[in-house]
Amino acid sequence: MTTQPLLELQHVDTYYGPVQVHFDLNVRVLHGEIVCLLGGNASGKSTTMKLILGLVKPRAGHVFFNGVEISGMATPQIIRLGMGSVPEARRIFSNMTVRENLLMGAYHRRDRQAVNDDYERMLALFPRLKERLGQRGGVLSGGEQQMLAIGRALMGRPRMICMDEPTMGLSPAFVERVLELIQTINQQGTTIFMVEQNANLALQIAHRGYVLQNGHIVLEGAAAELLDSRAIQDAYLGGQGT
Amino acid sequence: MALLEVEQISRYFDGVRAVDGVSLAVNEGEFLSIIGPNGAGKTTLFNLITGTDQPTQGAIRFDGRSLVGLRPDQFAGRGIARTFQHGRVFGNLSVLDNVLVGAHTRRKASRPRNLALELAGALVRSREARAEEAQLQAEAEAIIARFGERLTPRLHEAASSLSYANRRRLELARALALHPRLLLLDEPTAGMNLTETAEMLEFIRQLKAQGLTILLIEHKLPLVMALSDRVMVMDNGEKIAEGAPEAIRNNPRVIEAYLGQKQPRPEQTVEATDGSAVAG
Amino acid sequence: MDSFLRVFFDQTINGLVIGNIYALIAVGLAIIFGVGNLINFAHGSVYMIGGYVGWVCVTRYGLPLPVAFAAVAVVCGVIGVLIERFGLRSLQNAARISPLLATIGISFILDQLVQIIFTPDPQSFPNPLPSTRIPIGGGSIGTLDVLIAVTGLSAAAILYVILRYTRLGWALRATAQDREAALQMGVDVNATNRWAFALAAILGGIAGMLVGMYFQTVYPTMSFQAGLKGFTANLIGGLGNIPGALVGGLVLGVVESYGVAVLGPSYRNLFTFVILIGMLIFRPNGLFNPRRQPPPEPLTGTFIAYRKPVRVPRWAVITAAGVALALPLFMRDPYLLQVLTNAWLMGMVALSITLVTGTAGQMSLGQAGFLAIGAYTSALLALRLGWPFELTLLAGGVLSAGLGTLLVLPAFRLRAHYVAIATIGIGEIVSQIILNWDSLTQGPLGLTRIPPPSILGVDVFMPREVYWYSLALLLLAALFQWRLVRSSLGRVWRALREDEVAAQAYGINLYRYKALAFASSAFIAGLSGAFTAHMYTYINNETFNNSTSILGLTMAILGGMGNIIGAIVGALSLTILPELFRGLVDYRYLFYGLVLVLLIRFRPQGLMGTE
């Protein structure tokens, strides 16, 4: 095994117009890890996702994925390098059927036979989706849509999946299931990088975590350490310490 | 009687309950902050109170009179001013013009009720209209001067050339030019650094000291704690807590709303109805 | 069979056949709107070109129909790709409404090219199919009806197969539903757009060829109306909704057909535009979606490229006005004086547009309607009541302001793209009402023998005098506008343009101030129209058409939006330039189209900067 990380953000500064979102961001995700990026409102979490997916370009710094610099690349190119995405609010194609949504995940792949195999695997993994293959994505419940979004990302056979707030808006039962699912996927070899607001839950399954506050990484460490840290509560509930 | 009374107000978007049965009351001279995680419905609530959006249900009364069904400009006419979450200055207007637009509702001489007269008055300005313009302009400059040297040197520059922090200041100046009876501030320090935030805090503190009634949405809790008489917490469109700042800070429901639950509550796991057989 | 039923049957068949054509156009527009968020105004031109390519193949070269269809598909497909390249892709970072304006410019260019190559005259396109009619029930249908129906159905079927079973179709649908999510699935959104435009253009071109065969004629101006019909059909079904566009096309065709049966053929277009406006106001999301609010994005934003205006010192303005006033003393060529007079009159049009679109931010593409109201008011008052010119002129301006504002009023709830479409529709409605209100306007014959302009009872018809009169009017209009935009009212308008939501939150009544902006603009436009009517002594419903509106807009953009001096400079340059290069005069509108496209791409802030 190489010691080279699968994803690495080096000294990244990002801006939205005149507003700086990231300040000297440094993040590393190793092969096989689950890493979560935590942070409160407007901390710059979602922009980090967009940065990795090529939807936002950094003004300074570098982003490497699997040894390739991806900071200037178009999103479809990055996807073809083995990046998968479970976007914030799921972004299911609401007028396409469940089946079509799943297969859209494999849009960039040409290995038809393997795609079919993966499709069968997804149906086994998500029995509930199997019952609803012909229904439009838009009519699924929030939890089902989240499953579909994860399945759709897996259909691309990614090395790594970026998940933006995968538990947002889900009922507690579904939150548990999604977290279990993420662990399962990870154990089968897919690296996970997730952004979460729900820190306590995310840290239960993550190996490591970063805490982002106002565009700065203010804390990083093993999940267990972070879970017990009083500092994380401060980071969320107010920041500059009173 | 409270200056602003909101009763069981709701706003649904395509089935999503952005604001769900929220009630609140603000007394004259009071400072109420609204906090909560992203997507809690805070800005939607502001939109409802300022008429930018219409409630699905519920009542809003200001100074004892109902506001429901009025146009947003009529809300402003009653004396409600706001700033916007991401800043909405008039980019291609000068700093001074931005603030003068804020004083629109206070114009009398240049704003007759009759449309044709307003047009005629714009072509040939009466002495009263000129005097009013001069007076409002002097006042606008005075408001701008309250921000020290931040805005005054840029009086005639386009608002779009301002730094982000200056745009927020300009928005506040514009709101003050309306002579509001109720001022709503939506994240006035978003995108500001520590010094700028501290400065803004001081500025808002002065407004409060003058007796202005203020509603504030803010993520920076120290600011909220320093300014508020009362704090209201929203999550998922609902009000989950309300009280004095210190009590709110230690309220377990508030901590949970921000950080997430430690463990999903077991009874909910069992009772969950929507698809327990999804993840195999 | 009862004759009523027979008419009913025939009209239904007619309606369905025409509706099939509208559906083909509308589906193309829906595909493009879906993936590109663009109302493609060049689509009508592609349709017209389809008609011409078909005509060339069939009538000139006697090629068999399938070959003709293939040629239409290839030519139009390529044009579609070019439109995507220059109308959309190169404008990705420009103001949101830029692509719409660019496609208008492209449609000018395409229409003019066809006129240059094939002359503006209609070309006869004899139907190559056998003329046997197939009896059905009590009536009968022709072979061409069958061909159109079959083409429509098979196009729908092919489209269905593409969308449902091909990679391209999936990419199209995914991009239309969620562009960003499609990117994250690895879809090359640019390539998808290109294909969408090609596909849409092919459908549009085939529709054009079928229509050419159906009416046995093709002509260059068939493009504009067709584009609007397609757009209306699309709006009926819900913008961007492909099955909706199909249904919308058929509905529009049948409704129009019944309307024509009841009221007469000249009402055909009036019908469409009333439906267009009605849909925009009451069902902006289409018949199948009850929500009244139009979707907010991507249809926001006006066309203002911010750039500090060039400050022209007062002495320079006065000198320039002096030179213009003194010019006829030295230059006596009546032709040149006439050209300059036209420049001054167009200058007023540009002023009126720069006021409402530049200062107040309300995109107006139907300014010709205001000109026409002013022209007819003034001409009729002079002809019927013998009023003096000074009074009829003023009445033209005032009625244009009042009536024009009332007509636009329902569109005040709408924003950017929708306002643009609504104003086009309203301009067309004015023209159609003039066409159909025979007893007042003498319809297509027009009003003749309108008395020339006069002042204090003295007729003004020497070129020099007309020049001075028009220049004086322009200068007065400019002064009027200058006073307005410098007042607190002007500030309110600019605030409205910058941010409607924030402006309202600060007490600005949207309806009131949009009404004032449109009224002031229509007043100036009405004056220009009235003067023009008396100068030409003849007007009809086509004197002021869509080209006038777009030319005025191009002048306003060239000068710099909201810039008063700029509008006059823009009008002057665009009127004079084609004259300087004699060869350009015949290709005037080709030149204007090019200027518009290039301006939007390379200098949206115009010559003098925006204000």
For C439, what's the count of Cα atoms within 13 Å in the CB-facing half-sphere? 0
Q: Is C292 exposed, middle or buried (0-12, 13-18, 19+ CB in 10 A)?
A: exposed
Residues of chain A in contact with residue B277, where contact means CB-CB under 8 angstroms, are: 127-128
Does pLDDT of A229 surpass 90? no
Report how far apart, in Å, the C-alpha atoms of B23 and of each of B45, B232, B240 are: 10, 10, 11
Q: Distance between CA atoms of C8 and C257, rounded to whole angstroms?
A: 10
Question: Is the domain C314-408+419-602 a CATH 1.10.3470 member?
Answer: yes
Q: Distance between CA atoms of A37 and A46, rounded to whole angstroms?
A: 10
Strand C139-142 vs strand C133-136: parallel, antiparallel, or unpaired? antiparallel
Does pLDDT of C342 surpass 50? yes
Q: Are B261 and B63 in contact (CB under 8 A)?
A: no
Largest CA distance in chain B: 80
Question: What is the count of residue pairs from A and C with beta carbons less than 8 Å apart?
Answer: 61
Q: Distance between CA atoms of B119 and A157, rounded to whole angstroms?
A: 66
Q: Distance between CA atoms of C102 and C601, rounded to whole angstroms?
A: 8
Nearest Cα to Cα of residue B101 among B112, B88, B114 = B88
Q: Is C360 exposed, middle or buried (0-12, 13-18, 19+ CB in 10 A)?
A: buried
Minimal Cα distance from B107: which residue of C? C488
Q: What are A135-162's pLDDT values in tens digits?
A: 999 888 888 899 999 999 999 999 999 9
Q: Is C445 exposed, middle or buried (0-12, 13-18, 19+ CB in 10 A)?
A: exposed
Contact B101 C492 (CB under 8 A): yes
Q: What are C72-84's pLDDT values in tens digits?
A: 999 999 999 999 9
Nearest Cα to Cα of residue A137 among A88, A95, A86, A85 = A95
Do the domain assignments include residue A99?
Answer: no
Stated as kind and residue range, the H or E segment containing B250 is none
Q: Is C41 helix (H, G, I), strand (E, B) or coil?
A: coil
pLDDT at A239: 44
Q: Distance between CA atoms of A133 and C322, rounded to whole angstroms?
A: 77
Q: What are C19-51's pLDDT values in tens digits?
A: 999 999 999 999 998 888 888 999 999 999 999
Q: Which residues of B touch A (CB under 8 A)?
A: 37-39, 163-164, 187, 190-191, 194, 219-222, 225, 249, 255, 258-262, 264-265, 268-269, 272, 274-280
For A126, what's the count of Cα atoms within 13 Å in the CB-facing half-sphere? 29
Q: Distance between CA atoms of B154 and B143, rounded to whole angstroms?
A: 14
| Residues whose CB is less than 8 angstroms from the CB of residue B197 and which lie 6 or more positions away in sequence, other chains included | B189, B220, B223
Do the domain assignments include residue A123?
Answer: no
Q: What are A169-209's pLDDT values in tens digits?
A: 777 778 888 899 999 999 999 999 999 877 888 898 999 99
Minimal Cα distance from A125: which residue of B? B280
Q: Distance between CA atoms of A91 and A230, rounded to whole angstroms?
A: 34
At what angle are helices C488-498 and C510-536 packed, to 10 degrees? 110
Q: Read off the tokens for C545.
A: 């058409």
Local confidence pLDDT in tens for the 280 residues of chain B: 799 999 999 998 876 788 999 999 999 999 999 998 777 889 999 999 999 999 999 999 999 999 989 999 999 999 999 999 878 899 889 999 999 999 999 999 989 999 999 999 999 999 999 999 999 999 999 999 999 888 999 999 999 888 888 999 999 999 999 999 999 999 998 877 778 889 999 999 999 999 999 999 988 888 999 999 999 999 889 999 999 998 888 888 887 777 665 544 443 333 333 433 333 3
Minimal Cα distance from C241: which residue of A? A95
Does pLDDT of C296 surpass 70? no
Q: Distance between CA atoms of C560 and C76, rounded to whole angstroms?
A: 34
Contact A93 C187 (CB under 8 A): no
Q: Are B70 and B51 in contact (CB under 8 A)?
A: yes
Does pLDDT of C299 surpass 50? no
Q: What are A205-218's pLDDT values in tens digits?
A: 999 999 988 888 98
Which of C405, C488, C521 to probe the B interface (max B CBs under 10 A)? C488
Q: Give the count of domains, chain A.
A: 1
pLDDT at C317: 94
* CATH code for the domain of A55: 3.40.50.300
Which of C89, C177, C184 to probe the A interface (max A CBs under 10 A)? C184
Asked if omega into C298 is within 30° of 0 (cis), the reply is yes
CA distance C481 to chain B (A): 9
Q: Which of A128, A175, A199 sits opposite B278 (nearest CB)?
A: A128
Phi, psi for residue B65 in degrees, rounded to 5 = -110, 140
Q: What are C405-425's pLDDT values in tens digits?
A: 999 988 888 766 788 889 999
Contact A107 C170 (CB under 8 A): yes
pLDDT at B155: 94
Residues of chain A in contact with residue C184, where contact means CB-CB under 8 angstroms, are: 53, 55, 75, 79, 85, 87, 91
SS3 assignment for chain A: CCCCCCEEEEEEEEEECCEEEEEEEEEEECCCCEEEEEECCCCCHHHHHHHHCCCCCCCEEEEEECCEECCCCCHHHHHHCCEEEECCCCCCCCCCEHHHHHHHCCCCCCCHHHHHHHHHHHHHHCHHHHCCCCCEHHHCCHHHHHHHHHHHHHCCCCCEEEEECCCCCCCHHHHHHHHHHHHHHHHCCCEEEEEECCHHHHHHHCCEEEEEECCEEEEEEEHHHHHHCHHHHHHHHCCCCC
Quick one: DSSP state of residue C59? I
Query: Domains of chain B (ranges plus CATH)?
Result: 4-89+163-271 (3.40.50.300), 94-161 (no CATH)
β-strand partners of B235: B238
| Matching residue, tokens 């000249």 | C266
| Residues whose CB is less than 8 angstroms from the CB of residue B175 and which lie 6 or more positions away in sequence, other chains included | B81, B82, B83, B102, B183
Residues of chain B in contact with residue C489, where contact means CB-CB under 8 angstroms, are: 110, 118-119, 122
Domain residue limits at A228:
7-89+158-237
Contact A171 B258 (CB under 8 A): no
pLDDT at A138: 86
Average pLDDT over residues A2-20: 86
Contact A128 B221 (CB under 8 A): no
Q: Is the dihedral of CA C270, C273, C274, C275 positive or negative?
A: positive
Subunits with 3+ Cβ pairs within 8 Å of C are: A, B
User: Confidence band (pLDDT; 50, 70, 90) for C133?
Assistant: confident
Q: What are C550-569's pLDDT values in tens digits?
A: 999 999 999 999 999 999 99
β-strand partners of B214: B31, B183
- Alpha carbon B44 to its chain's center: 11
Phi, psi for residue A20 in degrees, rounded to 5 = -80, 130
Contact A91 C183 (CB under 8 A): no
pLDDT at A11: 96
Domain regions of chain C by residue span: 39-129+137-225, 314-408+419-602
Do the domain assignments include residue A139?
Answer: no
Average pLDDT over residues C5-10: 83
Nearest Cα to Cα of residue C6 among C133, C134, C138, C136 = C138
Neighbours of A185 (CB within 10 A): 21
Does pLDDT of A240 surpass 50? no
Nearest Cα to Cα of residue B258 among B43, B45, B46, B39 = B39
Contact A181 B279 (CB under 8 A): yes
Which of C300, C304, C398, C498 to probe the B interface (max B CBs under 10 A)? C498
Task: State the Cα angle at A230 between A227 and A233, rounded to 5°.
Answer: 85
